[in-house]
Amino acid sequence: MKNDVLDRFLRYIAIDTKSDDDSTSCPSTGKQFNLAKILVEELKSMGLSDASLDENCYIMATLPANTDKAIPVIGLISHMDTSPDMSGENVRPQFIENYDGKDILLNKELNIILSPADFPELLDYKGQTLVTTDGTTLLGADDKAGIAEIVTAIDYLLKNPQIKHGTIKIGFTPDEEIGRGVDKFDVQKFGATYAYTMDGGAIGELEYENFNAAMAKISVQGRNVHPGYAKNKMFNSMLIAMELNDLLPVNERPEFTQDYEGFYHLIKMDGNVEKSEIRYIIRDHDRQKFENKKVLIRNVVDFINKKYPGNPVSLELTDQYYNMREKVEPVYHVVEKARKAMELCGVEPKVVPIRGGTDGARLSYMGLPCPNIFAGGHNFHGKMEYVPVESMQKAVEVIIKLIDLYTND
């Protein structure tokens, strides 16, 4: 099983599936189909004859029940895209076997080092096999590790029919990284009673709370005049954008927050004297604090517009998803099942709030309660990303045990 999940993972990360938040299509990038087509054929070759890929790059498949026992239909979901924050092209994974707890040189030429001094959780994996980047791309464990784990678990169940189970639904989505992963997901067609996303981080993570999330796109119109004749005439859009940013609370940036604390995160800033654009993601677990953050950013924009003539700033504020806790707590047994599955597999459950979001957040509001289980990776969205092979293997075991619990618990 260990080699199976690793082999799949390596095949999947070799395919660039980076999404694009500037695109309005679904999927946002056509290259996501390159992985999707491979996955559908793989599922069919395993025996899932109904595996399908639609025009929007959603994959659905069914493992039929092999028992007459009344069992809830369980869904397993992961996303195919990788983050726009960094390149996912030409990923060159490196293997650190029997990790010794020391610094890992990812790239000698660029002197890029993955160090426990910066990432102390590395020390939790001494003696294990780590898959890292070469320091020039992300790895793609978010969420190709989750896909590999689901496919490996389903393959194991197909090869071991003595393990009884109810109907299991498999769903792979595009564009999760840009908050649009379930825009066109047909919950009724999927047909699951409960589902789990395999999209969490470190081994043991189990999450049923996530951020409320919004995206703020702010355009600033300046006025460009020759600098030698600019007095009382020029309005530098970049400086106005910087002034706007300075009005937001510094202590509510991601680098100063943790646990349930929300933030404003500046993710993009482009421009020149004439025109600039800045983008923020706004996050908070508490719905009222989330709404207050949106009010503040509107007020900041209004203030700048009153200060400068011609209302130079425009704001596009869009909600992306909400905290799934409200929808999962009424069926909390889905969390308890996952917790028990981990314990029976020798994994210590860590029930923590997601400092991010998953497809499961929106799916929960669409009528499909969907907590999140670890996929094993660390340092997502950047060149320091890594995943312990043993964590992926344990994730496969947890999926199998979870299915067993729904049958026999």
Give the DSSP letter of residue 259.
Answer: T
Separation CA 315–CA 298 (nearest Å):
8
Helix (DSSP H) and strand (DSSP E) numbers for the chain? 10, 17
Give the DSSP letter of residue 320.
Answer: E
Separation CA 193–CA 214 (nearest Å):
28
Yes or no: say if 157 and 64 are a contact pair by the CB < 8 Å rule.
no
Q: Rg (Cα) of the chain, in Å, rounded?
A: 23
User: Quick one: which H or E segment has residue 240?
Assistant: helix 237-246
The residues that are catalytic are 81, 176
Is residue 58 classed exposed, middle or buried when 0-12, 13-18 and 19+ CB atoms within 10 A define those classes?
Answer: buried
Yes or no: say if 61 and 50 are a contact pair by the CB < 8 Å rule.
yes
Yes or no: say if 140 and 88 are a contact pair by the CB < 8 Å rule.
yes
Residue with tokens 């969205």: 381
Structure tokens at 193: 């009673």
User: What length is written for the chain?
Assistant: 409
Separation CA 320–CA 279 (nearest Å):
14
